[in-house]
Amino acid sequence: MNTERSQVAVVTGASRGVGQGIALALGAAGMTVYVTGRAPEQGGSNLYGRALNGSLQETAAAITAAGGRGIAVICDHGDDAQVQALFAQVERECGHLDLLVNNAAFIHDQLIEPGPFWEKPLDLVRILDVGLRSAYVASYHAAPLLLRSERALVCFTSSFGAGCYMHGPAYGAQKAGCDKLAADMAIDFENRGVAALSLWLGPQLTERTRIAGEQHGEQYKAFLAHAETPEFNGRVIHALLNDPQLMEYSGQTLITAEIAPGYGISEAEGRQPPSHRAMLGDPRLQHPARVT
């Protein structure tokens, strides 16, 4: 077992897109980052018939090149045994965990298509399995390792879709569920040095959204003009992890665009992504009652 107390993170669903960008930002900050995906090499993922670039091995190599230590772990987050094996590996190799980013989610090709849920494939509901249930399972197996760190964080990548209609009921339920997982896990972690947060990310500049923008033109044009890079959000997550006041935020749902300026974080050339609170709504405040 490596007893060196370097900061260690697990980012789920990091072959490409949001998870990949977050993992790269954590690597650039010098962290050891375990990244998960269903296959080590590129292939199988596409949108509108176009293959999506990126692979688990490429992500791990890029993390190392950025100054961190990238470790690729093949893991299907729909298989609880594989998730358990992931954290057993982290325990053997590092002995502790500082950060879990629950990002893995099943995204159906027709998620953003218009129309009521019953006219879309039933398969869209799988986001509640890989996206919500899987985040609970990962957090369950990560918890003993997080408790070994002086200060640790469980982070859920959520969105404004938790509070407004966005992409249909399955997507909305998954995002709202992540917010609630963070709120309730924070209570269980209370006074144990582990925080749980849900983060509302704005529109993300990924290959997937670029392709979607080409298909949906004006619908996405305004949003993408002010979108965030996943790396921006990774830097926000790293700042939160290392904030001495982290525990004061535990249990909350935060908007990354709103908290980034306080950490001096912006996009290239100082561009500051906007919050969409005024247009899409506020994070829900949890009632303080506790029934045990």
Q: Which residues are catalytic?
A: 171
C-beta separation of 77 from 104 below 8 A? yes
Please give, one letter per residue, the 3-state secondary structure of 99-129. EEEECCCCCCCCCCCCCCHHHCCHHHHHHHH
Instruction: In whole angstroms, give the CA distance from residue 198 to residue 277.
Output: 15
Q: Which residues pair with 8 in a beta bridge?
A: 32
At 28, is the secondary structure helix, strand, or coil? helix
For tokens 């290959």, name the residue. 207
Instruction: In whole angstroms, give the CA distance from residue 33 to residue 43.
Output: 22
Bin 67: left if φ > 0, else alpha if -120 < ψ < 50, else beta: left
**Cα first-last separation, the chain:** 38
Bin 30: left if φ > 0, else alpha if -120 < ψ < 50, else beta: left
